[in-house]
Amino acid sequence: MDFASLIGIVSGLALIVSAIILGGSADVFVNVPGLMIVAGGTIAATFLTVSFKDVLKAFRAAYIVFSSDKTNAQKMIQTMLELSRISHRHGLVKLGDVKTSSNVLKRACNLLAEAASEQVIRNTLQNEIDSLIMRHHTVQDIFKKMAAYAPAFGMLGTLIGLIQMLSELDNPETIGPSMAVALLTTFYGSLLSTMVFLPIAGKLRARTLAEVANLEIIREGCIGILTNDHYMHVYEQLASYLPEAERKPVRIGGNKSASGGKAAPAGAEAKGKAK
């Protein structure tokens, strides 16, 4: 569970609801026709803009916002260092036996075991990165579109309410309540855009950047392994993907890194397995 996302949406909605309750009756903020115009119109326009399959993918991806982030650049760097040690001890062919849950890392290890050229490995992994960015961009773009549609349909609902209000000007007592109802659709549209759709798009983009960084670590680490660099040279190349404060010393095969300080345990087992 991503507690930052949970805290953000719960606290945001709680503050808005509290302000509504403290300001008077909450019943006046409930308008079913207005919700139908904003929510229904936003979803309908989204289906009209992109394919049905992509919309379903976007809704499923919204779950990722509240799930824990499993990407860890430090662990991936440690894993690549362990693979470097394995290749130095047993040769590149041994990397073909590596067990890992990452399909991209497994493909990279197979390419190394097959003695693929540096250009082939670089192009293959870069294609993986580009493909991931494109897939994730499609999902993020859907939520950005919904964030644009929701306020627009809110304004449309306001115009409908104003037209209905003006048609009843001969009854002054209905002007106030009718105006309040007309403004509610704008409220719904702004709320959905700023509290739901834009934050989801932003969190998905942050997750994408983290995944891209992991794939780039795999790519550069594999190039270092292929060129038979010392594992400490591989570490120095990959450490740039981490902020200075998060760069931890590592230990491979009982040797301490040149980073200084107490060495941290390696991120992969020495028996030909990578996490």
Q: What pLDDT does 250 receive?
A: 59
Q: How long a stretch of residues is the chain?
A: 275
Contacts of 260 by beta carbon, 8 Å cutoff, 6+ apart: 249
Q: What pLDDT does 215 receive?
A: 94
Q: What is the DSSP letter of 101?
A: S
Contacts of 161 by beta carbon, 8 Å cutoff, 6+ apart: 34, 178, 179, 181, 182, 183, 184, 185
Q: What pLDDT does 251 receive?
A: 57
Q: What pLDDT does 180 receive?
A: 77
Q: What pLDDT does 249 receive?
A: 66
**Amino acid letter for position 61:** A
Name beta bridge partners: 273. Answer: 269
Q: What pLDDT does 270 receive?
A: 36
Distance, C-alpha 36 to centroid of its chain: 29
Distance, C-alpha 93 to centroid of its chain: 35
Q: Name the nearest CA neighbour of 266 among 76, 89, 113.
A: 76
Q: What's the rounded Cα separation, in Å, for the pair 61 and 135?
A: 11
R_g over Cα of the chain: 27
Q: What pLDDT does 160 receive?
A: 87
Name beta bridge partners: 252. Answer: 255
Average pLDDT by consecutive 10-residue portion of the chain (275 residues)? 80 87 80 90 94 90 80 88 89 88 91 90 94 93 96 92 82 76 90 93 92 93 85 82 75 47 38 45
Q: What's the rounded Cα separation, in Å, for the pair 11 and 8?
A: 5
Predicted TM-score (pTM) of the model is: 0.80
Q: Where are the domains of the chain?
A: 1-29, 31-275
